[in-house]
Chains A and B, each alone.
Chain A
Amino acid sequence: AQSVTQPDARVTVSEGASLQLRCKYSYSATPYLFWYVQYPRQGLQLLLKYYSGDPVVQGVNSFEAEFSKSNSSFHLQKASVHWSDSAVYFCALSMISAGNKLTFGIGTRVLVRP
């Protein structure tokens, strides 16, 4: 069975600092991988996705993620965070055989201090 692990429940960073959120997946083949963000009292919004090709993918708001097949990871990064990046971030995977159904990690809550 497939699974997604986000080892950090909470991350606190100062405004202007860099941010890395970790994501590890378990799946026998190469999955489709996603990062979503959830702002307070809102639904989830797509930040970026990886299907194949270049392992570094660019997303909205200067986020990027790097896929590593050898490490079964898909870590999210941002060079310089803004207070508005405070939110919950979810890593997710889907399998070609399962349509568009997503399996989510538990999420990482990010707090950006001014």
Chain B
Amino acid sequence: DAGVTQTPRHEVAEKGQTIILKCEPVSGHNDLFWYRQTKIQGLELLSYFRSKSLMEDGGAFKDRFKAEMLNSSFSTLKIQPTEPKDSAVYLCASSSIPSGQLYFGEGSKLTVL
């Protein structure tokens, strides 16, 4: 079975640019999560979807971060405009109900100059 696929693996952006990160969850999973990972803050939840409906978006990330589930097998995370402090690894994860176990992609490493 294919796991969670994230693209691109690496992205370099100039300050002020718009970037879009992509995620394909495990087939058949109902829950999809976007997390941001930094050394200082650890893993922070950006967005949580259940069956394509937005269940939660991290309050601190609302203004420039927008996650969408275009269909049950594809999600995007848009950051607009980017700032240097957005440099981090962005992890996508999916889960089935009610397993509780999250399956993670390898992450997209974003560097904003």
Contact = CB atoms under 8 A, between A and B. Distances in A.
Interface of A: 32, 34, 36, 41-46, 49, 51, 90, 94, 99-107
Contact of B100 (A45, A49, A106): A49
Interface residues of B, number: 25
Contacts of B105: 43
Interface string B83-113: 0000000010101011111101111000000
Contact of B31 (A49, A99, A107): A99
B101 A49 contact: yes
B59 interface: no
Interface in B11-53: 31, 33, 35, 41-43, 45, 48, 50
Nearest to B95: A100
A44 B104 contact: yes
Contacts of B91: 43-44
Given A43-B4, A99-B31, A90 B43 contact: yes
Contacts of A99: 31, 48, 50, 55, 97
20 contacts: A32-B100, A34-B100, A34-B101, A43-B91, A43-B93, A43-B107, A44-B91, A49-B100, A49-B101, A51-B100, A94-B100, A99-B31, A99-B48, A100-B95, A100-B98, A100-B101, A100-B102, A101-B55, A103-B45, A107-B43
